[in-house]
Amino acid sequence: MAKEENKLEKIVSLVKRRGFIFQGSEIYGGLAGIYDYGPLGTELRHNIKQYFWDKFIAEREDVYGMSAAILMPKRVWEASGHTELFTDPLVECKICHERVRADQPEAIAGHENTHKKEKGKMAWSESKVFNLLVETKLGASEKSATEAYLRGEITQGVHVNFKNILDSMHPKLPFGIGQIGKAFRNEITPRDFLFRQREFEQMELQYYIKPDEKTGKEQFEYWKNFALDWYYGLGFKKENLRLRQHAENERAHYAKDAWDIEYYTPFAGWKEACGIHHRGDWDLKRHSEYSGEDLSYYDDETKERFIPWDIECSGGVDRAVLFVLSEAFTEDEMNGEARIYLRLLPKIAPVKVAVFPLLKNKPDLVFKAKEVYGVLKKKIPQMMFDDNGNIGKRYRRQDEIGTPWCVTIDFQTLEDSTITVRDRDSGKQERKNIDGLDKYFEEMLR
């Protein structure tokens, strides 16, 4: 498959222009690997998270949702193995002292390109190990300050609450705990826009099972396919997603087996969207040891006590946003003019329906358009009213933000209470009655 080198630049430019995503603290020069979401990006991200929450948590009888704190004491990360093993190798450029990932040839080549003038003098330090956890201190005085970490994965917030969930909800194995929230990593080389950030969001399921090989294999297969189906539900083409097993030397310290769901990005080829990990009893066993709390499970039926195994699905919210935008970004021609549009599935589009009066300076049209907008918004909250510029420009604007349908109120509306509905992908317009329009869109969204 061919890569489209400048597609990422086009996407970055579009999402800034249209209020989806901005460089974090941009007016102060920004911070590498940190981004802020504007109004439309926030809606898009919300829709993706909602879809995760519905499918992995709310619609299931065997999964609980939770929301743990971002700040956790150092001891948690010692127990989870992250203070010791959550590292990347880095090398330092001897010319400018910038540090880059030693295991990423593209990062090294990219940096060497910035020193074209010093050709021949390029030299790198020995590779060193660098811990990715983001450390902080809590408390007013230097002496009594508590060392804490901003969580490097949201997972540990679930494991440290395992006993609380057992004691309060009394679940029976197998059962899961799902969560969505921010994670922080001091990435050496943040790159490719939202792909590798220092602050990002994860959506995860920890699914606890009986500790035996057959159950482990079956559940691992089940969740691999469940997660892959979930990604297809975001609108990816069949050929743009795949499952890939990690080689032994690629696996994180906690994983007995690991597979990635990868997306074929137009800018960098196959890249990880989600990790499916067989974590075995690694986390609960270590937290039992380090905290002194008994994190075992008692099986009423078999009268056995054991530490369950954990099968994990761990997806990046921001990577899902980036990959969905990459898949949806389309350039074509309509009515002899070049256009850009986002071919987003209606369920994740930040605006579902835009309503326009044909002309801004005709009070009757504006009044009627506001009325239609008000009625629809009660049923479909993600709506937009637009009367800026001519109708062609408004369609282009809505195409660029991926709005599936535009409703126009024109002079005929005032006579027969009909409007036009324009379809984003085909540009085709259909006349419909205002009466029943809310039901029509609700049906289309279903």
| Site of interaction with ligand GAP (CB under 6 A) | 153, 155, 185, 187, 196-197, 200, 202, 204, 272-275, 312, 314-316, 318-319
Smaller CB separation from ligand GAP, 272 or 400: 272
Q: Can you tell me the distance from the alpha carbon of 265 to that of 326, in angstroms, rounded to the nearest whole number? A: 7
Smaller CB separation from ligand GAP, 263 or 405: 263
Smaller CB separation from ligand GAP, 275 or 404: 275
Helix (H) or strand (E) holding 17: helix 7-17
The least distance separating ligand GAP from the CB of residue 19, rounded to whole angstroms, comes to 21
Are 341 and 400 in contact by the 8 Å Cβ rule? The answer is: yes
Beta strands in 154-211 (DSSP E): 175-184, 199-209
The least distance separating ligand GAP from the CB of residue 252, rounded to whole angstroms, comes to 6
Smaller CB separation from ligand GAP, 315 or 404: 315
Helix (H) or strand (E) holding 168: helix 162-169
Smaller CB separation from ligand GAP, 86 or 297: 86
Angle at the Cα of 144 from the Cα atoms of 141 and 145, rounded to 5 degrees: 75
The least distance separating ligand GAP from the CB of residue 275, rounded to whole angstroms, comes to 4
Ramachandran area for residue 196 (φ above 0: left; ψ -120 to 50: alpha; else beta):
beta
HSE-CB of 390 using CA atoms within 13 angstroms: 1
Smaller CB separation from ligand GAP, 47 or 155: 155
Closest alpha carbon to 110 in 242, 255, 268, 281: 268
Smaller CB separation from ligand GAP, 259 or 373: 259
The least distance separating ligand GAP from the CB of residue 110, rounded to whole angstroms, comes to 17
| 35 beta partners | 23
The least distance separating ligand GAP from the CB of residue 410, rounded to whole angstroms, comes to 45
Are 288 and 294 in contact by the 8 Å Cβ rule? The answer is: yes
The structure tokens listed for 120 are: 């021949």
- Residue 23 three-state SS: strand
The structure tokens listed for 279 are: 């974590």
The least distance separating ligand GAP from the CB of residue 160, rounded to whole angstroms, comes to 14
Smaller CB separation from ligand GAP, 319 or 394: 319
The least distance separating ligand GAP from the CB of residue 260, rounded to whole angstroms, comes to 7
Smaller CB separation from ligand GAP, 203 or 342: 203
- Torsion on CA atoms 133, 295, 221, 56, rounded to nearest 10: -70
Q: Which amino acid is located at 408 in the chain?
A: T
The structure tokens listed for 323 are: 């990959």
The least distance separating ligand GAP from the CB of residue 363, rounded to whole angstroms, comes to 49
The residue sitting closest to ligand GAP, measured at its beta carbon, is 316
The least distance separating ligand GAP from the CB of residue 175, rounded to whole angstroms, comes to 18
DSSP string, 304-356: EEEPPEEEEEEEEHHHHHHHHHHHHEEEEEETTEEEEEE---TTT-S-SEEEE
| The dihedral sign for the CA sequence 199, 202, 208, 212 | negative
The structure tokens listed for 316 are: 């990046």
